[in-house]
Amino acid sequence: MTLHIERARSRRPVTWLTLIGVLLLPVLIGGILVAALYNPAERLDNMNAAIVNEDEPVTIDDQLVPLGRQLTAGLVEGSDEIASNLNWTLSNPDDAAAGLADGTYQAVVTIPENFSAAATSTAPGGTPERATIEVTTPPDSKVVDDAITAQVTSAAASILGRQLSEVYLENVFLGFTTLGDQLGTAADGARQLADGASSAAEGAAQLPGGITQLGDGASQLASGAGTLAGGLDQIASGIGGAQSGATQLAAGVNAGADQLITQGIVPAQLQQAADGAETATGLAADNASAASAQLQTLAASCTQSVEFCTALGNAALSAGTAAAILNGDGSEANPGAVFLTSATADGLDQLAVEAPKGIAAQFRTIGSNVTALASGLGQLSTGTTQSADGARGLQSGAAQLADGATQAADGATSLADGVAQLSTGTSSLANGLATASDSLPSYTDSEATSLANVVSDPVTTDGLGSSLFGASAVPLLASLALWFGGLGTFIALQAASRRALTSRSPSAALALRGFAPAAAIGAIQGLLVAGVVQLAATYDLGQWSLFALLCVIAGVAFAAVNQALVAVFGGAGRWLAALVGVLTVATGVVSTVPGVLSQAASLLPTSPAYTGMLAALTDAGGFGSAIAGLLIWAGLAFISTTIAVARRRVARPRDLLVVSPA
């Protein structure tokens, strides 16, 4: 069955089969594009990818940490963020390389040997290192394969990284709590130390006074020891004189005894011996008594150490005993000395007559006793001299002690100042530690876990779809399909009637005669494309109704524009129409195209169609302005077609020439 519609570039009539082909062209284009490209994330299992896990697990706190295996499991398991997952195969380097080369695998994910070590390098004592994985795709991979593989791999790596960050941050937050507790304990200890240092400072402040008193006592001790040494020297000198007298007495007595034996007793000699004995004994007794009195005075007023005062008392007793012996008051009094000192001249005369030999024997006894007395006095003199030397040594030591006490008092003053500074500094330390402890946050285990979960992934997104093309994919593909449908219509149909020159109808009527069937075809194409989209995307009825309305208007408008391009430019018009389709695709896929191309695309008739369809399917605005833009393009295109038809109705001379037969 033929129709009264002119066929382009042929005088054969248009059949229904031709119209059906024209009608189905945008449906096939749109259907193929939508089926192939819309929401590819739902069909990721059509892509085969290999995982090569070369990771060496590490051991942390006696626990094996195989992060490479965990990442592999995460890749195979998939993510909630993506509807489906790739078809993963656990492989080795050789098999993965071969599969990548022959097309078995569209991607290969390699987990390196140091993956676990690098991922856990943030532990204390380690050198922080970023864990990396390698994604390899073949050189002939499809346009979006790299993006799909990267999205799936990044999702798995991001989840694993977030888990590691959660564990690390949880330990950090719990560490804050532990550190705060420890700082609080340290603050308490520092406060106790400050209290102890304060008490020590008070004691140290009293120490210089006590050491000064010690120095004064040592000075007094040195003075007393000097006096004692002088007195002992005098005693030693007196005892030495007594020793000399006793020696002379012993010699005299012995000589007298010899004289008595040989010559008899001469009273004058006896008296002289008695006087000498009395003088020597009295001198020694006086010196010993004076020394004893002086030592007793010193002992009574002694304020030094107990040992020193005891030594003074013992020295006084020794001197008193010596005086008592010399005075004849002791139990060991010398009978010869008593005899000599108590004799009188008359007694001596009688003694000379009656008992010269017995007296001589007694004289020898007295001489022996006096010699022993002289020896004892010599020992007493030596001991007294040693005591004097000891007293002088005590004086020197006490003087040194006094000097040392003075220096110690100065040091004690510095010590008191230092301990006071220590107390002040420790108090400041305690306050600082307490402030630091109060400033650090404290978390329970659940609070630390919750906070680590938020901090490890502080920013999230909502409302993002899993489709790689986004919500604009359907409007772009539908606009492109309808545009190429309008182009296909005027590849099959005649844009300007061949009868324009001979027809009596107005040019507008002739233009409308070519536009009417194309407009009908465009409207039907719009409905069909909208139906295919609904089958793929399943929009609600309200959205789809607006979208279908826009598709119908766009189909009619695109038919008018393509008619005008062919009517005005002829075959070049179809070339321009194809260029419009290419610009539509180029500027609708990504926003990084050059600005010149974007500006040019915004002036194309496909721009309002894309904007209106997007507004119908999403919350974007511009639906009404898109319809107005399409109607304006349709009106301008029809006017251009009418002008082109009118120009065809003007005959040129060469068109009227008829070649004459030869």
pLDDT tens, residue by residue, 347-389 = 445 545 555 666 667 667 766 776 776 676 677 677 677 777 7
pLDDT digits (tens, 9 = 90+) for 305-357: 676 677 667 777 766 776 676 665 544 445 444 444 444 344 445 545 555 66
Inside any domain, residue 275: yes
Q: For residue 496, what pLDDT is reported?
A: 73
The alpha-helical segments, DSSP class H, found in 440-500 are 445-456, 473-492
Are residues 414 and 484 located together in one domain of the fold? no
Are residues 335 and 289 located together in one domain of the fold? yes
The pLDDT-based confidence of 260 (bands split at 50, 70, 90) is: low
Inside any domain, residue 562: yes
CB atoms within 10 A of CB 569: 15
Q: What is the mean pLDDT of the chain?
A: 74
Are residues 34 and 47 located together in one domain of the fold? no
Identify which has the larger pLDDT, 26 or 267: 26
Per-residue CA distances from 526 to 27, 71, 77 (Å): 9, 47, 42
- How big is the CA angle at 65 (ends 60 and 152), to the nearest 5 degrees? 140
Are residues 407 and 309 located together in one domain of the fold? yes
- How big is the CA angle at 368 (ends 276 and 387), to the nearest 5 degrees? 80
Which domain, by its residues, includes 263?
210-436
Inside any domain, residue 450: no
pLDDT winner (highest mean) among 22-31, 189-198, 504-513, 601-610: 601-610
Last residue of a domain, one of 436, 459, 492: 436
Residue 631 has pLDDT above 50, yes or no: yes
Residue whose pair of structure tokens reads 């993963």 in the numeric block: 88
Inside any domain, residue 445: no
Element (H, E) at 94: helix 93-102
pLDDT winner (highest mean) among 31-35, 247-251, 321-325, 582-586: 582-586
Residue 274 has pLDDT above 50, yes or no: yes
Last residue of a domain, one of 124, 158, 179: 179
Q: How many CA atoms within 13 Å lie on the side-chain side of 67?
A: 25
Residue whose pair of structure tokens reads 């950090």 in the numeric block: 172
Inside any domain, residue 459: no
Are residues 406 and 476 located together in one domain of the fold? no
Residue 646 has pLDDT above 80, yes or no: yes
Q: List, in order, residues 6 or more apart from 294 with CB less than 8 Å away.
A: 231
Q: For residue 476, what pLDDT is reported?
A: 86
Count how many domains the chain has: 3
Q: Which residues of 293-325 are buried (b: 16+ CB within 10 A; e: fewer)?
A: ebbbebbeebebeeebbebbbebbebbbbbbbb
Beta strands at 134-136 and 107-111: parallel, antiparallel or unpaired? antiparallel
CA 338/CA 328 separation, integer angstroms: 7
Are residues 487 and 595 located together in one domain of the fold? yes
Are residues 30 and 47 located together in one domain of the fold? no
Tokens describing residue 287: 């010196």
Are residues 137 and 72 located together in one domain of the fold? yes
CATH number, domain containing residue 133: 3.40.1710
The pLDDT-based confidence of 255 (bands split at 50, 70, 90) is: confident
Residue whose pair of structure tokens reads 């062919």 in the numeric block: 566
Are residues 269 and 380 located together in one domain of the fold? yes
Inside any domain, residue 370: yes
- The residues that bridge with 89 in the sheet, in sequence order, are 50
Q: For residue 632, what pLDDT is reported?
A: 95
CA 611/CA 597 separation, integer angstroms: 17
Residue 42 has pLDDT above 80, yes or no: no
Are residues 58 and 31 located together in one domain of the fold? no
Are residues 32 and 100 located together in one domain of the fold? no
pLDDT digits (tens, 9 = 90+) for 464-503: 444 555 567 788 888 988 999 888 888 878 877 766 666 7
CA 443/CA 462 separation, integer angstroms: 29
Last residue of a domain, one of 436, 458, 486: 436
pLDDT winner (highest mean) among 167-181, 247-261, 395-409, 570-584: 570-584
Are residues 381 and 480 located together in one domain of the fold? no
Q: For residue 52, what pLDDT is reported?
A: 92
Q: For residue 432, what pLDDT is reported?
A: 79
Residue % of the chain over a pLDDT of 90: 12
Inside any domain, residue 372: yes
Inside any domain, residue 111: yes
CA 37/CA 31 separation, integer angstroms: 10
Beta strands at 107-111 and 48-53: parallel, antiparallel or unpaired? parallel
Per-residue CA distances from 48 to 104, 137, 495 (Å): 7, 11, 49
Tokens describing residue 561: 């524009």
Tokens describing residue 52: 């090569």
Q: How many CA atoms within 13 Å lie on the side-chain side of 548?
A: 17
